[in-house]
Amino acid sequence: MTKQVKILFIGDIVGRPGRNAVKHYLDALHSCEEKKYDFIIANVENASHGFGLTEKNHNELAQAGIDCFTSGNHIWDKKDIYSYINNSDRLIRPWNYPKGTYGVGYRIFDVKNTKIAVMNFLGRTFMNPVDSPWEIIEKEIENIKQEAPIVIVDFHAEATAEKICFGRFCSEHKISAVIGTHTHVQTADEKILNDYTAYITDAGFCGAYNSVIGMGYEGSLKRLKTSLPERFDIDESPITELNAVSMSFDAVSGQAQSIERIQIIKDYSEENT
């Protein structure tokens, strides 16, 4: 069994600029032997024009080399999600939606002679009502850890305090990593909690660099100035930002060994993307 597993977690992919930035980055990784990862996760709930995920974009990102897709409250925004989410072998939705919701809240993957569990939860502060993620962890984590020593959680939440507290709580349950998503702004607080759990409050996003969390400035400005409904459109400018975190884990115990932020800003104006 390998002693170390390297995992890349890519922040919320927003629209075509985000997808293009991720595909370019992964293409470069695949040609660089020193920077290869054993497993790649990405949050994709905004990957299709900023809201939801189409089956076409699901397949496009899978082809690019992403092994597991996490999501959030916007995963239902494209209607064709209901036609394929139960058939996808890599997409998960938040586990704390009510029983009977389409899709699954976690998956276990076989990677280099070890197993990795990936879970997805929604926060409950400033979000729509959902079941308690705290209770699900307390009830289910021991059984899951018996099968998969490495457990990665995407905690899709609004409030910083809730994310930090949930990270500490998960570290007490020997969860390998808690990665915050949803706010699209990468935080500078990556750390290993309780000498076990890799943590960051928000992994950030992948999309247009000069946007408002991926969306065009003018539409965002009108909505915020007038408080009236205004269409949100993806910012299509050629300068993109890619945010991610690189992590390594002990393959036997699941204990985090390292976590490092990644931020890449690139101008694609001279390229055909």
Q: HEC profile for 66-94?
A: CCEEECCCCCCCCCCHHHHCCCCCCECCC
Question: Are the CB atoms for 254 and 195 separated by under 8 Å?
Answer: no
Buried b or exposed e, range 217-237, using 16+ CB within 10 angstroms: eebbeebeeeeeeeebebbeb
User: Which residues, other chains included, contact 138 with Cβ-Cβ below 8 Å and sequence gap of 6+?
Assistant: 173
DSSP 98: P
Specify whether 74 is catalytic: yes
- DSSP per-residue letters across 108-149: EEEETTEEEEEEEEE--TTS-----HHHHHHHHHHHHHHH-S
Please say whether the beta carbons of 202 and 180 come within 8 A. Answer: yes
**CA 231/CA 125 separation, integer angstroms:** 26
- Size of the chain, expressed as the number of residues it contains: 273
Q: Which of 74, 156, 182, 184 is catalytic?
A: 74
Give the pairing of strands 150-156 and 68-70: unpaired
Catalytic residues: 74
